[in-house]
Structure 1
Amino acid sequence: MNDASTAPIVVHRVSPTGGRRVVARGRILGLAHSDHDVVEFLRRAGIEDAGELLDDPWWVQWRGGRAHEYEAA
């Protein structure tokens, strides 16, 4: 059974300088500074409807903070 701990897409905690690393199935896609960036990285990785998946824990695990936040504290 899949859960957030085994989601194929991981959006990591906000870096000290801002932005979040996005990883899909172990492959680093880039440093996102917005949901738009995440969607674009995933689109380039072949996931066309990525915008619809961002809040689906079966697909995306948000680590270290609230989802959709990209600014350093």
Structure 2
Amino acid sequence: MQPEDLQSLVTTAMPYGKYKGRLIADLPGAYLAWYARKGFPPGRLGSLLALALELDHNGLKRLLDPLRPK
């Protein structure tokens, strides 16, 4: 993980699927867990989804609040 990955969670929208357009940081934990079981997509998107799941699973999503655009 790179420091800019946390910023990307609050600025990158899901590009497709049920939650298209929603920020990755705002994706529901159940959806992230489903993706983990299915297999995250390759590349940067998959890495961001895995990081979002890790934050959600460990109750750390509030750490992203100061990084959100105002």
User: TM-score under structure 1 normalisation?
Assistant: 0.29
Larger strand share, 1 or 2: 1
| Structure with the larger helix share | 2
